[in-house]
Structure 1
Amino acid sequence: MKIKDIKVFVCSPGRNFVTIKITTEEGIYGIGDATLNGREMAVATYLEEHIAPCLIGKDASQIEDIWQYLYKGAYWRKGPVTMTAIGAIDMALWDIKGKKANMPVYQLLGGKSRKGVTVYGHANGETIDEVLNNLGTMINQGYKVVRLQCSIPNLKGTYGTLEGKKNYYELQGDRPLPPEQQWSTSKYMNFIPELFKQARERFGYEIGLCHDVHSRLTPIEASRLGKLLEPYNLLFMEDTVTSENPQGYKIVREHTVVPLAVGEIFSTVWDAKVLIENQWIDYLRTAVSHGGGITPLRKISDFADMHHVRMAPHGAPDQSPICFMAQMNFNLWVPNFGIQEFIGFGTEKLNEVFKYDVEIKEGLLYMEDKPGLGVEFDEEAAKKYPYKRSYLPVNRLEDGTLWNW
C-alpha cells in the first residue's frame, strides 16, 4: 500500500484551514488537518517542500515508523509547525488504514470505551445577562457542561467575545494585522466571580461549568481566582497561567481545589510531562492536530492515565472537522477521557467543504460508524473559498504593555 501522491489544500470557508490528502497506489486516500491559526502557510510549505517528497513510495500502513521518521529524522524536533505537519500526516494514514480495514479508526485503537462523547459548548456574551441567556439556550439544547466567557466592563475586547459580534476577519479589514485587545487583571478579578455566582443562582449546580483564563494571570493571582470560584464548583479552570514554567501550576494547585486544565498549545508529551507526573493538572487539552496526531496522543494518554489526568482535547473553530472527527475516534476509545470542547455544527460554508455526521443527545455527541475518520473533504467546494491572511489578536495592558492574549 505505497503512497503515490500527497496534496496540500488551503481554503477559507469562514476560517483558514490546511488540509492534506494522501493517496495510495491502490486508490485509497486519507485526509488530515494541518491548520495552525495565523501560521497556516508555514505548515503548508513544510508539508509541500519538506515532508511530501520524503514519503512518496513509502508503505502507508507503517504509521508508527513514518511518525518516527518524521519526528526523529528531521533532527529539528518539536514545535507547533513541525508537529502540526506530522499530525496531519498521521491523521491521514489512520484514515487510510481505517478505510482499508473497513472500520472506524476507534475500532483499530481498541474499540469503544463509552457510548458517546461528553462535550461542552461555549456561552459567551457582552454582559452577564447575555451569557446566562445563552447558557439557558444551551441547556435546552441538551448540553450538560458549558464554558462561560463574558466581556469585562470598561475594557476593549475580551477573550471569548468579539466587538460587535464581528469575526476576526472583519476586525482586521483590508490590511490584516492582529486585532488588539485590552487587559486589566484587577477589573477581571473583580468581575468574573459574579458571572458564576449568578449562573449558579439561576441554573443551580447540576449543569457543569468551566472557564478559560487564557494564561492571563500570574500563579498567585490564579490561586486567588481559584479561591473566589471554589463555591461555584467548576469542572475546571483552563490555562490559568502560562505553561512555559510548569512550576507555576504547582503554586496554583497548592492554593485551590478547583480542577485545572491546560495543554491546547502543547505539541509533545515533553510539554506536559512535569505537569502530569506531579499531578498539578486534572485535564490535558492537547489536540490531535497540534500534538502530532493520533499516534503520540495514544502514548500521552496512557502516561496521563497513570497520574489521574483525563484527556480533554482542544476543539476551537480554527481546527477543521477533520481534526474534530479524529478526536471523536480518539475520545470514543481513550480510557481516561474527560470531556471534548465542541463549538457547534459548523456554518453552511464549512459544511459545504467538509462532510461529517454528528449529533448531540443529552450532552453526548455521537457519530456515524464510517470507515476511517468518518469525514470527507470536497476539493471543488474548497476552491470557492481562497486563503485570506489572518491573525489571532494580541493583548495589551491599559498602559500599553504587551500581555498574554
Structure 2
Amino acid sequence: MKIKEINVYVCSPGRNFVTVKVITEEGIYGLGDATLNGREMAVVSYLQEHVAPCLIGRNAHDIEDIWQYLYKGVYWRKGPVNMAAIAAIDMALWDIKGKAAGLPVYQLLGGKSRQAVTLYAHASGENVEDTLDKTEDLIKQGFKAIRLQSAVPGLNVTYGVLGDKKDYYELQGNRPLPPEEPWSTQKYFNMIEELFSKARARFGNDVHLLHDVHSRLTPIESAKLGKLLEPYNLMFLEDASIAENQDSYKIIRHHTTTPLAIGETYNTIWDCKDLIQNQLIDYLRAAATHAGGITALRRMADFASIYNVKTAPHGAPDLSPICFAAHMHLNIWAPNFGIQEFVGLGNEQSKSIFKQSIEVKQGMAYVSDAPGLGIEFDEEAAKEFPYKRSYLPVSRLEDGTVWNW
C-alpha cells in the first residue's frame, strides 16, 4: 500500500491546528495532528519541504521503519518541530492500517485493558470560592477528578484563569505578539493552601483533586509545596518544576509524598528516562503530538510500566481532536494508564471540521469501534477558519526577570 500524496492543512477554529493527511494509491487515507502551539508554521514547512518528499512511494504499512527513518535518518534527532512532524505522519499511518484492517487502532495495539477512559476536568476561578463553585458544577456532571486553579490575589493574570477573556489569543488583540504575565511565588503560596483546604472541607475525600504549578517553582519551593499539600491528598501535582536537569526532581521527591506528574513538553523517551527509572515521578504526561506519535508513546508507556509510573496524557486545547482520538486508543489499551486531561470535545467551529465519535458521560470517555482512529476532517469547512499567527504568553517576575511560563 504505497503512499501517493501527503497534504498539510492549517486552520484556526479558535486555536491553530496543523492537520496532516496521508493518502495511499488505494485511496485509503489517514489523519495526524502536527500542532505546535505558537510555532505551527515551522512544522508545516518541515513537513512540506523535508518530510513529505521522502515518503512518497513508501509502503504505508511500514510504520516502524518510517518512524525510524524520520527519527534516525535526519541526524538532527529529537526537538519539538521534528517530533511533531513525525507524530503526525505516525498517527496517519496507524489510522490507515486500522482502516485497511477494518479495526480500531486500539485493537492493533493489543486490545482493551479497560472499558472506559477516566477523565479529569478543569475548574479555574477568579478566586477560591469561584473555583470551588466550578468544581461543584463539574462534580454534578459526573467528573470524579478535577484540576483546581485559582487566580492569585495581587497578580492581574494567573495561569489557567482567563477571566472574561475566552482564549490566550484574545490577550494579543490586533498585535499578535506574546503577551507578558507577572509571577510572584510568595503571593502564590499565600493562596494555595486555602484553595485545597476549603476544597476538601466542601467536597470530602471521594473526589480526586489535582493542581498544575506550570513550572513556576524552583525544586526546593516545589518540595515545600508538595509537603504543604500532603494533608489534602492530591492525585498529583503537575509540572512542579522544570526538569531539564532531571536530578532536580530528587530534591522534590525526598521531601514530599505528594504524587508528581510531568511531561507535556517532552519530545522523546530520553527527556523522561531518568525521572522514570529513578521513580522520581508517578505520572507521565507526554502527548502523542509532541512526543513522536502513537509508536513513541506506546514505547514510553511500556518503559514507564516497569517502574510503576502511570500515563496521564496532556490534553490542552492546542492539541487537535485528532490527537485526542490517538490518546483514547492508547489509553484504552495501556495497562498502566492513569487518567486523561479533558477540556471538552471542542467548540462548534472545531466540531464542524473534526468529526469524532467519542462519547463522554459521567466523567468517562468511551472509544468508538470505527476503523482506524475514528475521526474525520472536513477540508472545506477548515477553509472557513484560516491560520492566525499567535503565541502563548511569556512570564516575568515582578522585577522584570523572564521566568517559566
Where on the TM-score scale, by shorter chain, does this alignment land: which range? Answer: over 0.9
Deviation, structure 1 residue 375 = 0.6
Deviation, structure 1 residue 166 = 3.4
> Which residue does 1:4 correspond to in 2?
4
Q: Structure 2 CA distance, aligned partners of 1:42 and 1:355? A: 26
Q: Tell me if structure 1 keeps the 8 A contact 2:115–2:332.
A: yes
> Which residue does 2:346 correspond to in 1?
346
| Runs (4+) off by over 3 Å | none
> How many pairs were matched up?
405
Q: Structure 2 CA distance, aligned partners of 1:364 and 1:310? A: 17
Q: Tell me if structure 1 keeps the 8 A contact 2:95–2:105.
A: yes
Q: Structure 2 CA distance, aligned partners of 1:297 and 1:245? A: 22
For 2:103, what is the secondary structure of its paired residue? coil
Q: Structure 2 CA distance, aligned partners of 1:185 and 1:273? A: 29
Q: Structure 2 CA distance, aligned partners of 1:400 and 1:58? A: 52
For 2:345, what is the secondary structure of its paired residue? coil
Deviation, structure 1 residue 103 = 0.5
Q: Structure 2 CA distance, aligned partners of 1:273 and 1:152? A: 34
Deviations 1:10-37 (A, max 9, x none): 0000100000000000000000000000
Structure 1 unaligned spans of 5+ = none
Q: Structure 2 CA distance, aligned partners of 1:280 and 1:120? A: 22
For 2:243, what is the secondary structure of its paired residue? coil
Q: Tell me if structure 2 keeps the 8 A contact 1:211–1:238.
A: yes
How does 1:307-386 map onto structure 2 within 5 Å?
Answer: 307-386=307-386
Deviation, structure 1 residue 129 = 1.2
> Which residue does 2:271 correspond to in 1?
271
For 2:250, what is the secondary structure of its paired residue? helix
For 2:241, what is the secondary structure of its paired residue? coil
Deviation, structure 1 residue 345 = 2.2
CA RMSD of aligned residues (A): 0.7
> Which residue does 1:59 correspond to in 2?
59
Q: Tell me if structure 2 keeps the 8 A contact 1:142–1:360.
A: no
> Which residue does 1:162 correspond to in 2?
162
Q: Structure 1 CA distance, aligned partners of 2:342 and 2:385? A: 23
> Which residue does 2:390 correspond to in 1?
390
For 1:324, what is the secondary structure of its paired residue? helix
Q: Does 1:17 align with 2:22?
A: no
> Which residue does 2:43 correspond to in 1?
43
Q: Tell me if structure 1 keeps the 8 A contact 2:12–2:385.
A: yes
> Which residue does 1:229 correspond to in 2?
229
Deviations 1:142-169 (A, max 9, x none): 1010000111011021110114233122
- The one-letter code of the counterpart of 2:338 is G
Deviation, structure 1 residue 197 = 0.7
Q: Does 1:262 align with 2:259?
A: no
- The one-letter code of the counterpart of 2:273 is K
Deviation, structure 1 residue 245 = 0.7
> Which residue does 1:73 correspond to in 2?
73
- The one-letter code of the counterpart of 1:18 is V
> Which residue does 1:243 correspond to in 2?
243
- The one-letter code of the counterpart of 2:374 is G
Q: Structure 2 CA distance, aligned partners of 1:367 and 1:127? A: 35
Q: Structure 1 CA distance, aligned partners of 2:130 and 2:358? A: 27
Q: TM-score, normalised by structure 2?
A: 0.99
Q: Does 1:182 align with 2:212?
A: no
Q: TM-score, normalised by structure 1?
A: 0.99
Q: Structure 2 CA distance, aligned partners of 1:164 and 1:324? A: 27
For 2:164, what is the secondary structure of its paired residue? helix
Q: Structure 2 CA distance, aligned partners of 1:57 and 1:280? A: 44
Structure 2 unaligned spans of 5+ = none
Q: Tell me if structure 1 keeps the 8 A contact 2:283–2:310.
A: yes
Q: Tell me if structure 1 keeps the 8 A contact 2:104–2:368.
A: no
